[in-house]
Amino acid sequence: MISIFSPSNYAPFNIALEEYLLNNITQDCFLLYINEPCIIVGRFQNTLAEINYQWVQHHEIPVVRRLTGGGTVFHDLGNLNFSFIMRNADDETANFKRYTKPVLDVLNELGVPAMLQGRNDLTIKGMKFSGNAKLVQNSTTLQHGTILFNSHVESLVQALKVNPVKFSDKAVKSVRSRVTNVIDHLSVPMKLGEFIPLVRDKVHSLYPDARDYTLTIDDRQAVQELVDRKYGTWEWNYGKSPQYNLANAIKTKVGTIEFYLDVANGIITSLRIFGDFFGSKDLRELESGFSGVSHTKESVREVFERRAYRSYFGDVDLDDLVNAMF
């Protein structure tokens, strides 16, 4: 087994690193990494239905889709992430016990009553501090998880807060859980930098063949190429969302404006606009302009500007119109 601590705090790099190790390294791998504030969505989720899009855009939070299923999680510098990539593991997709054991062992030895609860959550006194996900592919297992050690929980709540009535889709919804930080349950104060080697050493004791490995220049270049091609792109992180519908309404000084969108693979397939405002042009002309347009703020704003939006709605703020479509 090779044991790696990622040199990067950039989420697209670290999620790409997992895929790189999965597909290019023949040995078993153990990976630890810490991301700057970001949101990681499950493979089969509708990204926009999982995040507070306005808050995420305002705070410039990266959003990255991972390879594994499961729900959406928030990472920051107080959150430690661990991954096992195991060859010929003969694992069951729904069995998370084996690779969460090192984390639980460390915490239990520190006097923290951590346990595996339900299918894939690690909890302390009923409160979740770790979510785990898994992919079994050609007898190789990728299992990874989060550890909320000293994370900014308020940012987590803000980042993942979304109006559940806005979206209707067939994607997997995240289950919101009561969460807690490990640091709040330690009898002796400890920093994340002190906790990391405890987890690493525990894994090395359970897997005696484990040895530290530093990514080479070629490794980093290959991972960066994967970021550029996949994990840093809108097409993967947003466009891979399943088909969904969005309904939203805003109150403006010209009246109420309602938007109803159908989106498939990140592309707007239809838009209907209703309201009690007074306009001078046929809305069907404006609606048709959105067909085939990417469901991104930049593309939506461009259509509104190109179609002279005030001739349809009157004196309304462009930002309000754009935000209402997300």
- Per-residue pLDDT band for 84 (boundaries 50, 70, 90) equals very high
Kindly report the average pLDDT of the chain as a whole number.
Answer: 90
Q: What is the pLDDT of residues 220-247, one digit of tens each?
A: 999 999 999 999 999 899 888 778 888 8
Distance CA 121, CA 210 (A): 26
Q: Are residues 148 and 8 in the same domain?
A: yes
Q: What is the pLDDT of residues 16-31, one digit of tens each?
A: 999 999 999 999 999 9
Show the tokens assigned to 195. 């906790």
- The least confident of 20-34, 93-107, 111-125 is 93-107
Domain that holds residue 253: 244-324
Show the tokens assigned to 271. 């838009």
Contacting residues for 203 by C-beta, under 8 A, at least 6 apart: 3, 30, 102, 210
Show the tokens assigned to 18. 């997992």
Distance CA 123, CA 93 (A): 20
The CA angle 49-50-53, to the nearest 5 degrees, is 80
Q: List 79's β-bridge partners, or say none.
A: 148
The CA angle 120-45-65, to the nearest 5 degrees, is 85
Q: Are residues 188 and 265 in the same domain?
A: no
Q: Are residues 11 and 119 in the same domain?
A: yes
Q: What is the pLDDT of residues 58-78, one digit of tens each?
A: 899 999 999 988 888 999 999
Q: What is the pLDDT of residues 267-312, one digit of tens each?
A: 999 999 988 776 667 888 999 999 999 999 999 999 999 999 988 8
Show the tokens assigned to 279. 């306009």
The verdict on pTM exceeding 0.75 is: yes
Q: Domain boundary residue among 209, 237, 265? A: 237
Q: Are residues 182 and 272 in the same domain?
A: no
Rounded to whole angstroms, the maximal C-alpha distance in the chain is 75
| Model pLDDT, residue 53 | 86
Q: Domain boundary residue among 237, 254, 273? A: 237
Q: Domain boundary residue among 237, 252, 280? A: 237
- What total of structural domains would you count in the chain? 2
Q: Are residues 123 and 269 in the same domain?
A: no
Across the range 70-98, mean pLDDT stands at 86
- Per-residue pLDDT band for 172 (boundaries 50, 70, 90) equals low
Q: Are residues 249 and 120 in the same domain?
A: no
Q: Are residues 50 and 122 in the same domain?
A: yes
- Per-residue pLDDT band for 167 (boundaries 50, 70, 90) equals low
User: 293: domain CATH number?
Assistant: 3.30.390.50
Q: Are residues 110 and 67 in the same domain?
A: yes
Distance CA 288, CA 270 (A): 8
Across the range 104-131, mean pLDDT stands at 94
User: How far apart, in Å, are the Cα atoms of 298 and each of 244, 252, 264, 301, 323?
Assistant: 20, 22, 18, 5, 11
Distance CA 59, CA 101 (A): 35
Q: What is the pLDDT of residues 244-261, one digit of tens each?
A: 888 888 888 888 898 999
Show the tokens assigned to 291. 């067909």
